[in-house]
Amino acid sequence: MASNYQEGSDEGSNSQSSESCSDFSDSDTDSQASSESGSDSEEAPQTSSKPNVCMHYNRETNEEFDGPYRWQLKIGKGWENIANDHILEAQYSLPNTKGIKIYNTRAGAISIDFTKMRVLQKTNIKVRRMSSRDTEWLWYYRGDQSWCQYGEKGKASPIQSSQLEAAYQNNRRGSVKFTIDSTQYEISFKDMCQRNLSTGRKRRVRRRPKYVPSEGEGLRGIASQLKSILSPPTNSNNKTPEWQFKGRNGEKWYTFKNRGGCSVSSADIEKFYQQNQATMTFTVNNDTYTLDFATSGNHFEWQLFNGQQWGSILNDFVIEVHYCQAGAKGITIHLNKGPVYIDFDDMTVTGPLANGYSIRRNTLLSHNQKEVIGWYYKDNYRWCEYGSQGSGGMSSSITSDFIEQQYNINPRGSVQFTVGNMTYKVDFSAMTQTNLSTYMLRKVRRRPKFKEVVTDNSITQNSTLSQVRWQFMDMDGQWTDYIKGGTRGCCSVSSQDIEAEYQQDSTGMMRFRAGRFSYELDFSDMSQTNLSTNTRRSVRRL
């Protein structure tokens, strides 16, 4: 499903959640825009003074820096690197984005204007992007409905991005003329606009770099296009996983089949994978490819339901990097039909064209892998991770790992802990923290840490599934195990079936039958609903 992302977009009207703090933030904090404080996510962009390994030179200043680009802030005397600057780069590479809001800097939350390359409302702070000499720059003009790359869409212009870049480097205040059919146009580098020389009509022009993923994030040949999809085992616990690759259009996935010139099938790959091999080679039409199982694409996939079917979202890593920031409330994405706003807390989609739309995040992990989850609370100034030092200089007695363990036992439960002489309670259902002495409430968020997945080879899928028990509250108020084919209503699923679905998506839903009734089990709400009578019962995981 094609989409564009924005932190602050100038494409038409942007009807988004009223929670948004500024024109440059769809990933917003819960404080007002004027606040100087930001969030405290581990993955949020933040300034860092770590020394660089010199690998590239800035083509503007000949300064050495690490990577194909480097974003920096000047707060005071010297320039400081912005950590996790791939978040800025991913947004900056999209022509429709005017800017972005970042959080965990020494100056608090700041908004960066990409078009003027400056920090808004804070004249004492400067921003810059250092670029390597081999950066590929792309040129775009504002079409009637969207931004278009020169030479790529509509009536193909005789001028390409590479030609415009060469002319720009020769004279940055100059201009270039070209002709489409019999109409002549002029691009002014000084004004960054395109003018029809016959009618005088002007269009905006933007120059943005081609996005280059950071090391370890990028796609590595065909290996990057793979994912292992564990098919939902509602009918069988032994369903063979499928291995797929993404097609050229970037939207559709295709299963490996031993035909059409391909030397392996999905079953061949799975057999090799189960042998704990690091790589595998195969051929397609006499061309040799290597599958690197350690880097076989992302472990997540964001999908949008348009009222009829679920579809993948292109470049969903942009959603992911924002979702992994504790301070991010949501993000607006631009679909072909218009903008929609994704609320990360509620996992809902809103907007004038979002009627009937739903959003979900799938995890694509092996049976012995799991995401690293961070738990955060909103103090007076920023989002802080449990176990880290808050604004008051004190740390909680529990860590994210401990809270996650308790959450996995019962997502509708709670956990208590102490800070100093105060006792607090975290309520998983309400996602709040309560001071049990003053009853002061604070917001709590659970977010994965970007690209952090751990492997425990001592875990096997069968042992994990068999150790977990799922129960529902029956009409007599007793907790009852799910038993497949049992005497009470002949249930179509067992605890193992439910756990397998839960491992695939701990916030999703599944359906099953018991007798003549169909039910829906909601993992996020830990409830079971009879789809005929709408009777709702509590569910727990032991």
Look up the CATH number of the domain holding residue 184. 3.30.720.50
Q: Which of 295, 319, 345 is the last residue of a domain?
A: 295
User: Whole-angstrom Cα distance, residue 428 to residue 406?
Assistant: 9
The residues with which 424 forms a beta bridge, in sequence order, are 417, 435
Over residues 378-389, the pLDDT tens digits come to 888 788 889 876
Residue 362: inside a domain, yes or no? no
Q: Do 300 and 320 form a contact (C-beta atoms < 8 A)?
A: yes
Give a yes or no: residue 201 inside a domain.
Answer: yes
Residue 128 has pLDDT above 90, yes or no: yes
334-361 pLDDT, tens digit per residue, is 777 778 889 999 889 988 877 888 898 8
| pLDDT reading at 7 higher than 60 | no
Residue 526 covered by a domain: yes
The per-residue pLDDT of the chain, averaged, comes to 75
256/264 Cα distance (integer angstroms): 7
> What pLDDT, in 10s, does the model give residues 407-442?
888 888 899 988 878 899 999 999 999 999 999 999
Q: What is the mean pLDDT of residues 85-95?
A: 85
More confident site: 21 or 258: 258
Q: What is the pLDDT of residue 181?
A: 85
Instruction: Tell me the average pLDDT across 168-190.
Output: 93
Residues 426, 492 within the same domain:
no
Within-domain flag for 1:
no
Residue 209: exposed, middle, or buried by beta-carbon count in 10 A (0-12, 13-18, 19+)? middle
- C-alpha span between 239 and 231 (Å, rounded): 7
Among 264, 295, 326, give the residue marking a domain's end: 295
Q: Are residues 448 and 373 in the same domain?
A: yes
Q: What is the pLDDT of residue 421?
A: 84
Structural domain of 241: 221-295
65 within domain boundaries? no
* Tally of domains within the chain: 4
Q: What is the mean pLDDT of residues 257-275?
A: 82
C-beta separation of 127 from 112 below 8 A: yes
Residue 497 has pLDDT above 90, yes or no: no
Q: What is the pLDDT of residue 34?
A: 30
Q: Is 340 a member of any domain?
A: no
* Whether the predicted pLDDT of 321 surpasses 50: yes
Question: What is the per-residue pLDDT for 392?
Answer: 61
Quick one: pLDDT at residue 58?
53
Record the pTM: 0.48
User: What is the C-alpha to C-alpha distance for residues 375 and 47, in angstroms, rounded to an integer?
Assistant: 22
Side-chain half-sphere CA neighbours of 526 within 13 A: 19
